[in-house]
Amino acid sequence: MAGIPFNENSPRYDWVLVLGGTNDLGCRTSAETIFNEGLKVIYDMVLQRVNGTTNLVAMTLLETGYYPPGDIHDRERQKLNEMIRNYVSNCQDQDRICLVDLDKSIPYHGIKDVKNLWDDMIHLTPAGYDRMATIIFQEISKEINQ
């Protein structure tokens, strides 16, 4: 985390979007470790900025085609997503945090247009990334227009 330029002299960011943990899960790092030693540290760093105006977008992790729902590895992803959701819902500064629940918005399993959205079993197609961008934009727009 030392490489992230967040201090009083840093440039001002209006929004910081965080989507992380997919590769860590693929390397069999536990959901608890990913959250407590990675994501939570980043989330706290953003929300504790001195200027108090930087907003955080926390995003859940997408399903992949490698593991069916209920598989032990997918359960770790689901556990991590619950930790992300809980962090956002329990955050004291609700005006500065936003959840983008990609897990629920872009499923892999059980959809008809898998080939349109998914390039392989883990990466999206350009159309899939366009859909992701639209979902993120819509959630941020809701926050701005409240």
Amino acid identity at 114: V
Total count of domains within the chain: 1
Residue 94, in any domain of the structure: yes
Residue 114, in any domain of the structure: no
- Look at residue 109 and tell me whether its pLDDT is greater than 70: yes
Structural domain that includes position 50: 15-104
- Look at residue 38 and tell me whether its pLDDT is greater than 90: yes
> Where does the pLDDT of residue 71 fall: very low under 50, low under 70, confident under 90, or very high at 90 and above?
very high
Q: Between 48 and 60, name the one with better pLDDT.
A: 60
Residue 66, in any domain of the structure: yes
C-alpha to C-alpha distances, 111 to 19, 114, 118, nearest whole angstrom: 23, 6, 11
Residue 133, in any domain of the structure: no
Residue 126, in any domain of the structure: no
Residue 5, in any domain of the structure: no
The pLDDT of residue 110 is 86
- Identity of the highest mean pLDDT range in 3-17, 31-45, 107-121: 31-45
Identify the weakest region by mean pLDDT among 28-37, 44-53, 119-128.
44-53
